[in-house]
Amino acid sequence: MAAQMTDAHRRFLQVLMSHGIMEGSEARKLHRRCCEIHKVYYAHDKLDDFISTINSHLQPLFMQIRKGMSEGDGRAHYALVNLAETEITKMASDYTENELELFRKAMDLIILSENGFASSTEILNLADQLKTKKMKKKEAEQVLKVFVEDKWLSERNGEYTLHTRCIIEMEQYILSNYQDVARKCNICHSLAIQSQVCESCGIAMHLPCVRKYFRAQTEPRCPQCNDFWSCDIPGTSRMDSQSPSKTGRAEKSFILSPRRC
Amino acid sequence: MSQRKRSKVSGFSQGDDGDEDFNVSQTPTHSQVQRNLERRSQDQVNQKVSELVQFLLVKDQKKIPIKRADILKKVIREYRDVYSEIINRAGRTLQEVFGLQLVEIDTRHHIYILTSNLPRAEGENLRRDNQTAKLGLLIIILSFIFMRGNSAKDGAVWEFLRRLRVQPGERHEVFGDVKKLVTEEFVRQKYLEITPIPLTDPPEFKYQWGPRAAKETSKKDVLRFVAKIQGKDPTFWTSQYTEAEATP
Ligand SMILES: [Zn+2]
Ligand SMILES: [Zn+2]
């Protein structure tokens, strides 16, 4: 039934795990290298088949290599994820309780924010309110750094958002735990943390999806309600990946109304 | 661990020579594990196996050696009666799917690490990851120790690093706190072993390879690395060459 795994598959998996997440072109290079090292059949367009062989063996372990998109630049990424949805399982064995609580709080702020970012000040202010065990600011700063290193958060100019790896890993968790707030992108139907939202009907789109979608249109109109799309269309040239937009910071996190741009 | 059940299941006895571990099939208690297994549903046991695999992978990611006590406490919990079966299956899965082997590096305290079973690829010393720079520093220290006859004093190691512009007191832009990286992180990860030299004042320390270093690289590779940097043939260092060729 399922194709046999070879050492090429195992090597691919080992390297992917040690990186946590890999960008598409890196993964393609690795695919080739693994096949060459172990002298197994290689075809440049067969990465997805190669991965699905690995996945068929990971399935009984509730793990999977999943493909996701970076919300900043729209590039494909691969990450090994844990399918157990009940808890932040993968993190649970790696962090202490108050570190996990800080992470959850940061995640709250990010998901409830206008633009998918929370400032370090906002997050650090919560450090001495942790129920499990309070943290000093300095300590919390250090923990945030570890979350960035471990690719759960990414940081740009003191603003934090969820790392692509985290989104790939926790998409289901977020969608079910933030049912009323978490949005799905109208174009690619995945979870959207950094997004633009239609002022009229409230649908959301990832920035790279917005860019791609409107590229073909003379006048930007919402794919859902056909109203004029009033957000700035992210530059058609190079886009500043993962950098928080300056707009929409006025409204504070706990307002659950649709994010406007 | 004091309240461990007096179960006869292998892997549970308090014996500290450790050879009882993970060896169910050869022990007379095999049938008892079998009986215990029958009380559990396959799904429950499979669930535990995958939890354990995930736990080991997460710990391994950070190169944290895994204590059996932690495995019992954090994963196995009320499944102690089928512990040996769970750990055996997890070991098999790690091997078949991930190409990793669960190795007991400390049989007295029952400490494990995961090492790769895959043949080392050309030019791929130690496992590649995003910590490549740190591993670069490590390989330099390991070569220094090996070239010095498998043991070097702390003073010599730091003098050598200082010449490479790596200062213990300063924050290095890549390595951060170098002193901490070398004396704590590499030691915790079992790449290095640092032991005090008796009767020295001020205290001196001896640096040696830790068990993970021996698993993830080899003397042969390290000598090849040194030879490449110095632009010489490995045979130039006769005794090291003989030793490297003699160790697998
Ligand atoms: Zn999208
Ligand atoms: Zn609309």
pLDDT tens profile A237-247? 434 444 444 44
- The span from the CA of B156 to the CA of A134, in Å, is 43
Question: Which residue in chain A has the smallest CA separation from B43?
Answer: A60
The amino acid that residue B150 corresponds to is N
Q: Which of residues 180-239 of B touch A (CB under 8 A)?
A: none
* Minimal CA separation from B206 to chain A, in Å: 30
CA-nearest residue of chain B to A57?
A: B97
Beta-carbon contacts of A228 under 8 Å, excluding residues fewer than 6 positions away, are: A219, A220, A221, A222
How far does the CA of residue A59 sit from the closest CA of chain B (Å)? 10
In a domain, B202, yes or no: yes
Which ligand number lies closest to the CA of residue A206? 1
Same domain assignment for residues B195 and B112: no
Question: In this structure, is residue B59 part of a structural domain?
Answer: yes
Q: Strand ranges (DSSP E) for B32-97? A: 66-67
User: Is B44 touching A (CB cutoff 8 A)?
Assistant: no
Q: What's the pLDDT score for residue B74?
A: 85
Number of folded domains in chain B? 2
Label residue B133 by pLDDT band (50, 70, 90): confident
Contacting residues of A for B100, CB less than 8 Å apart? 14
Chain A CA closest to residue B118? A7
From the CA of A189, which ligand is nearest?
Answer: 1
Task: Give the sign of the dihedral formed by CA B19, CA B21, CA B22, CA B25.
Answer: positive
Q: Which domain holds residue B15?
A: 2-116
Distance from CA of B95 to the nearest CA of A (A): 9
User: Residue A227 in contact with residue A198, Cβ under 8 Å?
Assistant: yes
Radius of gyration of chain A (CA): 20
A224 touches chain B (CB under 8 A): no
Q: Which residue has the tokens 């000040």?
A: A121
Report the amino acid identity of residue A226: N
pLDDT at B247: 81
What are the structural domains, with CATH classification, of chain A?
7-61 (3.90.1150.220), 89-167 (1.10.10.10), 177-246 (3.30.40.10)
Considering only CA atoms, which of B218, B116, B19, B40 is closest in space to residue A18?
B116
Neighbour count for residue B220 (Cβ, 10 Å)? 18
C-beta atoms of B61 and A57 within 8 A: no
Contacts of B74 in chain A (CB under 8 A): 93
Q: Is residue B237 helix, strand or coil?
A: coil
Cis-peptide, bond into residue B202, ω within 30° of zero? yes
Q: Are residues B109 and B209 in the same domain?
A: no
- Amino acid type, B187: V
- Residue B16 inside a domain? The answer is yes
pLDDT category of residue B193 using cuts at 50, 70 and 90? very high
3-class SS at A137? helix
Check CB contact under 8 Å for B53 and A18: no
Q: The whole model's pTM is what? A: 0.72
Query: Looking at residue B132, what is its pLDDT?
Result: 66
- Whether residue B69 is found in the same domain as residue B92: yes
Look at residue B240 and tell me if it is in a domain.
Answer: no
CA A141 to centroid of chain Cα atoms: 21
Distance A210 CA to ligand 2 centre (A): 13
pLDDT in tens, chain A (261 residues): 568 999 999 999 999 988 889 999 999 999 999 999 999 999 999 999 999 999 999 998 888 999 999 998 999 999 998 876 555 555 666 788 899 999 999 999 999 998 899 999 999 999 988 998 999 999 999 999 999 988 899 999 999 999 999 999 888 889 988 988 899 999 999 999 999 999 899 999 999 999 999 988 888 999 999 999 888 877 644 344 444 444 433 333 333 333 444
| Cβ distance of A57 and B129 shorter than 8 Å | no
Distance A170 CA to ligand 1 centre (A): 16
Q: Do B7 and B105 lie in a common domain?
A: yes
Question: Does B128 contact A18 at a Cβ distance shorter than 8 Å?
Answer: yes
User: How do residues B17-68 score in pLDDT, each as one tens digit?
Assistant: 333 344 333 443 677 777 777 777 788 888 889 889 988 988 887 777 888 9
Structure ipTM: 0.77
- Examine the domain organization and report whether B109 and B11 are in the same domain: yes
Q: Is B74 on the interface with A (CB under 8 A)?
A: yes
3-state secondary structure labels for all residues of chain B: CCCCCCCCCCCCCCCCCCCCCCCHHHCCCHHHHHHHHHHCCHHHHHHHHHHHHHHHHHHHHCCCCEEHHHHHHHHHHHHHHHHHHHHHHHHHHHHHHHCEEEEEEECCCCEEEEEECCCCCCCCCCCCCCCHHHHHHHHHHHHHHHHCCCCEEHHHHHHHHHHCCCCCCCEECCCEEHHHHHHHHHHHCCCEEEEEECCCCCCEEEEEECHHHHHHCCHHHHHHHHHHHHCCCHHHCHHHHHHHHHCC
Gap from CA of A205 to ligand 1 centroid (Å): 5
Q: Report the separation in Å between the CA atom of A208 and the middle of ligand 2, taken as the mean of its atom positions.
A: 17
- Give the pairing type, strands B152-153 and A21-23: unpaired
Note whether B73 and B158 are same-domain residues: no
Assigned token pair, B80: 């102690």
Q: Does residue B246 form part of some domain?
A: no
Decide if A254 touches B, using CB distance below 8 A.
no
Q: Smallest CA–CA separation between A224 and chain B, in Å? A: 41
DSSP A2: P
**How large a percentage of chain A has pLDDT more than 70?**
85
Give me the pLDDT at residue A259, please.
Answer: 41
